[in-house]
Amino acid sequence: MMADEEEEAKHVLQKLQGLVDRLYCFRDSYFETHSVEDAGRKQQDVQEEMEKTLQQMEEVLGSAQVEAQALMLKGKALNVTPDYSPEAEVLLSKAVKLEPELVEAWNQLGEVYWKKGDVASAHTCFSGALTHCKNKVSLQNLSMVLRQLQTDSGDEHSRHVMDSVRQAKLAVQMDVLDGRSWYILGNAYLSLYFNTGQNPKISQQALSAYAQAEKVDRKASSNPDLHLNRATLHKYEESYGEALEGFSQAAALDPVWPEPQQREQQLLEFLSRLTSLLESKGKTKPKKLQSMLGSLRPAHLGPCGDGRYQSASGQKMTLELKPLSTLQPGVNSGTVVLGKVVFSLTTEEKVPFTFGLVDSDGPCYAVMVYNVVQSWGVLIGDSVAIPEPNLRHHQIRHKGKDYSFSSVRVETPLLLVVNGKPQNSSSQALCHSSFKAAV
C-alpha cells in the first residue's frame, strides 16, 4: 500500500471509529439527554441511530479497500442493540479471520454469540481474546459467560462461579473506575451468594460492588439490570422496601422488559397475602386455635428441650423456652420458641417456604425458611420449635401502601423441630434465583 493510500485508510478508520463511538455514547448516555419517561422509546431511538450511523459509515467507506478494522467497526455498530444480528456475526467472523489478533473483534463476536444463545462459542471468543491481550472487556464478558456454561455437575458449576468472581476481580483491578466491571463483579458475587447457601458476607460484597459501580460511573444508575439484580438480593435478605424500589426503578428504565414489573407485582401480592393471613391468624377460629395451643407439649421441643441442642459454635446447651412476644430483633441466643402452624404460603419461586406460627393469644409471626427442597413443608396444626430465632420487624411503604409484620428467618429446615422431630438432611437444598447478567 502506498504512503498516500495508507494515510487515506488511516483517516477513513478514524472517521468510522468516531461514528461508532458516538453511537455507543448515545446508547450508554441515553438518560443524560432524555428523561426516564422516554425509557419506552430508548430501543427504537437506538435502532434509528444505528441505521443512521451505518449509512454514514457507508458514505465514509465509499470505494476504499475494506480491511479487518472496518469490518469490525461495522459489526460493532450492528451489535449496539440487545438483539442478535446475523450480519454482525458474518462481518466479525471475517474480521477475526483477516486479523486474528484483533481483540475487539473477538470481544464483539463473543457478544454476538451470547445474544444468539451460543454460550460455548462466546466463551471460546473471550478466552481467545485474552490469549492475544489481557483486557478488561474480555475479562468482564468471560465472567458472565462462565456462570452460564452448561455443566454436568453441581461441583463443576460451583467452580465456574468461583472462576467468574476471579475474572471480574481481574477486570476491576485493570480499571477501578470502570462501572461495568464493578457491576459484573456484583453479579458474580450474587451468583456466588445463591450458590453457597446465602452467606451474608457475600451479599454485602455484592451490594458494595453495585454501589461502587454507581459511584464511579453515573451511567450505572441508568442500568435496569443492576436495579433488578440488586432488588433480587434485597428480597432474599428480606429488605422488602429496597427490593420493591429496585424492581420499580428497573421497570421504569426499561418499560418493555416485563420481568421487573412481574417481580414487583409478585412481591406486592406476597406481602398483601402474608399480612392478611397474619392478621387473621390463618382465618383460624378462636375455639380451634385454643384447642391447637392446648395440645402443645414440652416433648415437641425435641433436642431443643433436653440439652442436646448444639449451637453454631458446636457447644451443647439447654435452651430457655420463651414466648414469641418476648423476642428481640436479631438472633435470640440461648432461646427457643414453640408454636402451632396456622397457615402456609408458597410463592412461584417456592423459596422461602413461609408459614404462620402462634404460641398464645398474642400476634401471629411469619416464619421464613430458606434452602428447602420443593417437597418439604409443614402442615396446619403442626408443632414447630425454632432454636435461637432470628427476629425482624418489617415496616414497608410502597406506592401508597403499608405493610407491617414480624418474621423469624430460618436459614435451613435442619434447624427446625417439627412435632418433636429434627428434620433430616434430605429436606435441605441450595437456593437458586434468577437474575439477569446482560452483556
Q: Is pLDDT at 430 greater than 80 in this prediction? A: no
d(CA 117, CA 170): 25
Query: Alpha helix (H) ranges present in 237-370?
Result: 240-253, 258-279, 286-294
Q: Is pLDDT at 377 greater than 80 in this prediction? A: yes
**Residue tagged 422431630 (cell numbers):** 421
Confidence of residue 233 (pLDDT cuts 50, 70, 90): very high
Q: What is the pLDDT of residue 316?
A: 82
- Report the percentage of the chain scoring pLDDT > 90: 76
Q: Is pLDDT at 65 greater than 70 in this prediction? A: no
Is the preceding omega at residue 352 within 30 degrees of 0, hence cis?
yes
Contact 300/364 with Cβ under 8 angstroms? no
Contact 85/410 with Cβ under 8 angstroms? no
- CATH code linked to domain 13-270: 1.25.40.10
Confidence of residue 323 (pLDDT cuts 50, 70, 90): very high
Check residues 162 and 151 and name the one with the higher pLDDT. Answer: 162
Alpha-carbon separation of residue 129 from 76, 103, 138, 323 (angstroms): 16, 5, 7, 61
Q: What is the pLDDT of residue 433?
A: 52
- Report the percentage of the chain scoring pLDDT > 70: 95
Q: What is the pLDDT of residue 205?
A: 97
Q: What is the pLDDT of residue 317?
A: 81
The residues that bridge with 309 in the sheet, in sequence order, are: 317
CATH 2.40.50.550 domain position(s) in the chain: 284-427
Q: What is the pLDDT of residues 160-217, one digit of tens each?
A: 999 999 999 999 999 999 999 999 999 999 999 988 877 889 999 999 999 999 999 9
What global pTM score does this model have? 0.87
Q: Is pLDDT at 238 greater than 90 in this prediction? A: yes
d(CA 193, CA 195): 5
Q: Is pLDDT at 431 greater than 70 in this prediction? A: no
Q: What is the pLDDT of residue 438?
A: 43
Q: What is the pLDDT of residue 182?
A: 98
Q: Which grid coordinates belong to 252? A: 421504569
Check residues 354 and 371 and name the one with the higher pLDDT. Answer: 354
Which whole number is the average pLDDT over 298-313?
83
The alpha-carbon radius of gyration of the chain (Å, integer) is 27
Q: What is the pLDDT of residues 82-103, one digit of tens each?
A: 999 999 999 999 999 999 999 9
Q: What is the pLDDT of residues 194-208, one digit of tens each?
A: 888 778 899 999 999
Q: Is pLDDT at 375 greater than 70 in this prediction? A: yes
Distance of CA 298 to the CA centre of its chain: 42
Q: Is pLDDT at 437 greater than 50 in this prediction? A: no
- CATH code linked to domain 284-427: 2.40.50.550
Residues in contact with 404: Cβ distance below 8 Å, sequence separation at least 6, in sequence order: 275, 394, 395, 396
Q: What is the pLDDT of residue 194?
A: 87
CATH 1.25.40.10 domain position(s) in the chain: 13-270
Lowest mean pLDDT among 224-228, 302-306, 363-367, 386-390: 302-306
Confidence of residue 294 (pLDDT cuts 50, 70, 90): very high
Q: What is the pLDDT of residue 152?
A: 79
Averaged confidence pLDDT in the chain: 91
Which whole number is the average pLDDT over 224-245?
96
Q: Is pLDDT at 33 greater than 90 in this prediction? A: no
42: nearest Cα among 253, 260, 259: 253
Q: Is pLDDT at 335 greater than 80 in this prediction? A: yes
